[in-house]
Structure 1
Amino acid sequence: MSIVLKKVFTRFLKGIANPQLILMFLAARGFLKWLPDKQYLKLMFIIRIKQKLNLNKPRTFNEKLQWLKLNDQRSEYTTYVDKFEVRKFIENTIGGQYLIPILGVYDNFDEIDFEALPDKFVLKCTHDSGGLVICTDKSNLNIKEAKDKLNKCLSRNYYYVHREYPYKNVKPRIICEKYMVDESDTDLKDYKFMCFNGKVKCSFVCLNRNSPHGLNIDFYDLYWNIMPFERYYPKSGTTINKPINYDKMIELAEILSKDIPFVRIDFYEVDGKLYFGELTLYPGSGFEEFTPKSFDELLGSWINLPILK
């Protein structure tokens, strides 16, 4: 059996054990475009959350994110999720000083002039989640692997994977950003602020992205106390120091989230300076379970859904 056939057969066997993999495989390749958004989300919700999706009277955080996907489809949301176009919104709203320096923007991978780039940089697709290449040593960068990964991302419409409407009309491009690292010198912590109708209610920090054990996420209340729940990813078991710019992060997050039922605003802190990360309207696409489940309902109670006209 050829290597290609072995890979296909292995994926098939995994799909039988985990129907989510089959659904994701088909969705990523556009085979489920014919399925209406509501039916698709109901199917995905049963597979991922293991319960029926209540769209008539949504109560939980995950349910309300699905409702927002279907019913709160503002045109400006497309700008918010576009990693290049959102920079204009940030500059006009809170100021360009919070933007990570950009080194280039490209319509395709072959436009990238690697000789003109510094030794360290980050390549990101503007239209999806996960289209990322971090280069810490240009001399060791496998350009073919980077090209294959980003070209694969550029060829797909991310909207069809989780039916997040804002991604439907984002122009696929690649941006190159300055490589950033915090005081750890090995990692860059994400400070992610959960904003409910323009008010920060809690935040979480992503740690250990590149560790052998994988990503950890710790939720904090407004007083920087660890909150007693997990959402898909395990806690780190540690408590980090509150960022120097914590209060400023909250202030800016509430400016950026004004009049939005729910949005997550991300920041980084490098050498005492604050940088904007991204806006995320549907964290985990509303398909990540809470432990204990009561916190799914608690965070859901913080979202006031808009009244449909």
Structure 2
Amino acid sequence: MNFETLKNLVIDKDFRFVYLSRKEFYNNMPDEKFLKRKFKCLTKNDLNLDDPVSFNEKIQWLKINYRKPEFVQMVDKNAVKDYVAEKIGQEHIIPTLGIYNSFSDIDFDKLPDKFVLKCTHDSASTIVCSDKKTFDRKKAKKQITKFLKRNYYMLGREWPYEFVEPKIIIEKFMVDESGTELKDYKFFCFNGKVKCVSIDFDRFTNHRSNYFTPDFELTDIGKQVCPPDPDHKLNKPENWNEMIEIAQKLSDGLPFLRVDLYNINGKVYFGELTFYPASGFSLFMTPEQDKLLGEWMQLPEKCIC
């Protein structure tokens, strides 16, 4: 622990709460109480669950009040592939090279020179191997082993993750027309309709994200964590309408779902399904943007199955 972290732990109660929550210090705190406290720490606003207005508030409401058993499969990085393939076809699924319980189980001799590995039960655990000869297995093992032990549910009380068995999934390495990266198309679907799409680019160098309308018009929506770059030219994919149709098919019947897709040489591939972007703690460029997305979401009747 460096001096700056230690200082903030002593003098900043909000920093202290967030830091200790990542260490699972508050695992016994009820979900609603935990979310209200963390929401205040990260957004500096009180969380209104009785009459939620903003996008972030409504995401928190959904965590607590809208729970269906199938959501567990939908967030599992491995199991979701069967769910999606049944709805839109196996041809949209990135090939899986292996599923493992631990890093030590992986037989790297049987893997191609390039691949992607991540955990099935969390987010942001992706490790890309672009060259097996120079791949730092020791570092990767340390990271993945740490991720496997992480109780992702406790970080933001995204309840479906509590029931996903931690495993390692290895997938085929793929790039788009750039030859160097895989742009992430994130379709924000409200009641089964795409309302905006964020396109993430330069994800491993200088992560940026521009938001577009379904008609591919650039908007001013953006988040502070990966701010927009309006000067960066992004071309509308030829199969843009197909991507929208796929996103809407996968989100049909749900008050909100973010559907992540890839576009590779004119072919659409599934990425993941996200119920709670940034766990409902998104720092938009302006409060008005948070409220705009909130207006798009019509909350359903409470459902805890």
Amino acid at match of 1:280: T
In structure 1, what is the equivalent of residue 292 of structure 2? Answer: 298
1:225 corresponds in structure 2 to 217
Contact 1:24 1:161 in 2 (8 A): no
Residue equivalent to 2:134: 140
1:75 Cα deviation after fit: 1.0
**How high is the TM-score relative to the length of structure 1?**
0.94
CA distance in 2, matches of 1:13, 1:147: 31
Aligned to 1:254: 248
- Which of 223, 227, 232 is residue 234 of structure 1 equivalent to? 227
**Counterpart residue identity of residue 179, structure 1:** F
CA-CA distance at 1:17 after TM superposition: 6.6
Q: Is the counterpart of residue 97 in structure 1 residue 91 in structure 2?
A: yes
Q: Distance in 1 between matches of 2:11 and 2:269?
A: 42
Q: Which residue of 1 aligns with 2:110?
A: 116
1:236 offset after TM fit, Å?
1.9
What's the counterpart of residue 3 of structure 1?
none
Greater alpha carbon shift after TM alignment, 237-246 vs 62-71: 237-246
Distance change >3 Å, CA 16–CA 132, structure 1 → 2: farther
Q: Distance in 1 between matches of 2:126 and 2:17?
A: 23
Structure 1: runs of 5 or more not aligned = 1-6
Q: Verify the 8 A CA contact 2:18 2:41 in the aligned structure 1.
A: no
One-letter amino acid of the counterpart of residue 228, structure 2: K
Question: CA offset at residue 25 of structure 1?
Answer: 3.3
Output the aligned Cα RMSD.
1.5
TM-aligned CA distance change 1:264 to 1:16, over 3 Å:
farther
Q: Is the 8 A contact 2:115 2:129 kept in 1?
A: yes
Q: What is the match of residue 78 of structure 2?
A: 84
Q: Distance in 2 between matches of 1:261 and 1:107?
A: 34
How far the C-alpha of 1:290 sits from its partner, in A, is 1.8
- Alignment pair present for 1:210 and 2:204: yes
Which amino acid in the other structure matches residue 99 of structure 2? V
Q: Which amino acid aligns with 1:118?
A: P
Question: Which secondary structure does the structure 1 equivalent of 2:16 belong to?
Answer: helix
Q: Relative to structure 1, is the Cα distance of residues 21 and 193 closer, same or farther in structure 2, using a 3 angstrom cutoff?
A: same
Question: Is the 1:127–1:173 Cα contact (8 Å) retained in structure 2?
Answer: yes
Which one is further off, 230-239 or 30-39? 230-239
Structure 1 residues 84 and 21, CA gap change in structure 2 (3 angstroms): farther
Q: Which residue of 1 aligns with 2:58?
A: 64
Identical-residue share of aligned pairs (%):
44
SS in 2 for 1:290: coil
Kindly state the Cα deviation for residue 156 of structure 1 after the two structures are TM-superposed. Answer: 1.4
Stretches of structure 2 lacking an aligned partner (at least 5 in a row): none
Tell me which amino acid in the other structure corresponds to 1:216. R
- How far 1:185 moved relative to its partner? 1.2
Q: Deviations over 1:110-133 (max 9, x none)?
A: 110011101000001000011111
Return the alpha-carbon distance in structure 1 between the equivalents of residues 185 and 215 of structure 2. 14
